[in-house]
């Protein structure tokens, strides 16, 4: 499931990147012509034009208008691309969650459990989830074009330092505009990765709640094994393996975070299955961290955090903190080092 949902997010990012790059490629020649004119004016006057003077430059205003049109199209495309990927993630989750739940039971019980779990995941509820998710995505993507357009205008007004080489001045000016344009893409990428993963989590939460008689909670899963472990942030390492109530949303990790929620089946005997069950196969956080080299551990936590943890002055739970974000949602992020030092000092 993690591979499928992650793949949907990655495909959306690739699609968006291709669209933004193609749009800039179409605009770049016109921007070069307009900037050449602007730079020639600036060199002749010995200064960068004022906003009023910029407004009187027809080619500059025309390329700004063309860029606004392109950004509006890209904003709509971002909404559509991310919404499609999120809807696919919801469908994929509804299809896979019964397998995830059934896989935690003895083989003889899996087929019946899978069928029962599937029956409880109602298409009407999934449709309602899709509607809410698309509304959230629309709210996140609506400002993309306006923000990128405003950033481009700020770069034009700010200008670049004049020199003796008009070609170099123009190159830097075009690069500044391109950077502001690509700022919209960077935000679109964050939205895509975050919202597709959150769509999966929302659908999983619904499926888990619909099968509360089989489950006693969900487990936060971060990537703590393999090559990806070094790229897992301190807060996700901190949360890995923690158990949460079924109705609790999550994992509420940071933007672009890829942590997953694993539904946790009740003990077999609590379900009337008179068999001894094996231990969970979820990787142990401490054992996984201990398996990393000193260099890798430092890459994950940073030298100062690692020293505090090794000295026992802080624990794993101290590494994560909840932060409110009115423009998005509450998320679990790494606790700042200064706060960790304060916690460590208080425990002396």
Alpha-helical (H) ranges within the chain are 2-45, 51-55, 58-102, 107-120, 123-141, 144-158, 166-209, 234-239, 285-290, 294-301, 303-310, 337-346
Shared domain check, 261 and 154: no
- Residue 250, pLDDT score: 87
Q: Which of 175, 197, 182, 183 is nearest to 328 (CA)?
A: 197
Distance CA 73, CA 99 (A): 40
Q: Report if pTM > 0.85.
A: yes
CA angle 165, 171, 177 (to 5 degrees): 140
- What is residue 172's predicted lDDT score, i.e. its pLDDT? 93
Contact assessment for residue 216 and residue 245, using Cβ atoms and an 8 Å cutoff: no
Co-location of 195 and 67 in the same domain: yes
DSSP reduced 3-state for 36: helix
Query: CB pairs under 8 A, 24+ apart, for 306-311?
Result: 308/340, 308/341, 308/344
Q: What letter does residue 253 receive in the DSSP assignment?
A: B
CB neighbours of residue 21 within 10 Å: 12
Handedness of CA 309, 310, 311, 315 (dihedral sign): positive
Residues 138 and 248 in one domain: no
Last residue of a domain, one of 176, 211, 246: 211
78 lies in which domain range?
2-211
**What is the rounded distance in angstroms from the CA atom of residue 26 to the CA atom of residue 31?**
10
The reported pLDDT for the residue numbered 112 is 95
Apex 10 CA angle, 9 and 15, nearest 5: 100
Residue 146 shares a structural domain with residue 59: yes
Single out the residue in 211, 238, 268 at which a domain terminates: 211
* Whether 228 and 188 share a structural domain: no
Q: What does the alpha-carbon distance between residue 239 and residue 320 come to, in Å, rounded to a whole number?
A: 7
Positive or negative, the Cα torsion across 115, 117, 119, 121? Answer: negative
Domain boundary residue among 211, 241, 265?
211
pLDDT of the residue at 31: 95
Asked if the peptide bond before residue 207 counts as cis, ω within 30 degrees of 0, the response is no
Q: Are residues 142 and 42 in the same domain?
A: yes
- Residue 319's CB is within 10 A of a number of other CB atoms, namely 22
Q: What is the pLDDT of residue 306?
A: 96
State the pLDDT at residue 256. Answer: 86
Q: Is 121 left (phi over 0), alpha (psi -120 to 50) or beta?
A: beta
- Distances in Å between the Cα of 4 and the Cα atoms of 41, 90, 92, 123, 322 are 54, 11, 8, 20, 28
Q: Are residues 26 and 129 in the same domain?
A: yes
Estimate the crossing angle of helix 337-346 against helix 303-310, to 10 degrees: 20
Identify whether the C-beta of residue 38 lies closer than 8 Å to the C-beta of residue 60: yes
What are the mean pLDDT values of the chain's consecutive 10-residue runs (348 residues total)? 93 96 96 94 92 92 96 95 96 95 95 95 95 92 93 92 88 94 94 93 94 95 92 95 92 90 95 92 94 95 95 95 85 94 90
Count of domains for the chain? 2
Distance CA 320, CA 178 (A): 36
**Residue pair 234/319 in contact by the 8 Å Cβ criterion:** yes
């Amino acid at each position: 499931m993690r591979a499928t949902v992650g793949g949907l997010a990655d495909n959306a990012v690739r699609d968006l990147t291709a669209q933004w790059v193609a749009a800039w490629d179409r605009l770049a020649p016109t921007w070069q012509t307009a900037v050449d004119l602007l730079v020639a004016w600036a060199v002749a006057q010995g200064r960068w034009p004022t906003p009023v003077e910029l407004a009187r430059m027809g080619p500059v205003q025309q390329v700004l208008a063309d860029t606004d049109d392109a950004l509006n199209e890209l904003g709509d495309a971002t909404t559509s691309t991310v919404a499609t990927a999120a809807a696919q993630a919801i469908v994929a989750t509804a299809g896979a969650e019964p397998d995830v739940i059934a896989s935690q039971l003895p083989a003889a019980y899996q087929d019946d459990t899978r069928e029962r779990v599937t029956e409880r995941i109602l298409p009407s509820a999934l449709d309602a989830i899709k509607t809410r998710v698309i509304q959230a995505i629309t709210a996140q993507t609506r400002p993309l074009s306006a923000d990128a357009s405003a950033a481009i205008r700020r770069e034009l007004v700010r200008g670049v330092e004049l020199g003796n080489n008009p070609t170099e001045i123009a190159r830097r000016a075009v690069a500044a505009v391109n950077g502001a344009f690509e700022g919209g893409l960077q935000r679109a990428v964050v939205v895509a990765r975050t919202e597709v993963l959150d769509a999966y989590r929302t659908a999983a939460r619904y499926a888990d709640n619909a099968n509360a008689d089989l489950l006693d909670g969900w487990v936060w899963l971060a990537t703590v094994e393999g090559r990806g472990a070094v790229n897992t942030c301190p807060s996700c390492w901190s949360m890995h393996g923690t158990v949460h109530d079924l109705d609790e949303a999550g994992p509420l990790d940071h933007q672009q975070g890829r942590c997953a929620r694993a539904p946790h089946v009740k003990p077999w005997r609590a379900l009337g299955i008179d068999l001894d069950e094996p231990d969970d196969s979820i990787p142990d956080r401490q054992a996984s961290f201990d398996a990393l080299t000193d260099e890798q551990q430092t890459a994950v936590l940073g030298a100062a955090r690692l020293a505090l943890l090794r000295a026992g002055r802080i624990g794993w739970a101290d590494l994560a903190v909840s932060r409110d974000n009115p423009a998005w949602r509450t998320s679990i992020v790494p606790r700042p080092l200064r706060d960790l030092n304060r916690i460590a000092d208080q425990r002396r």
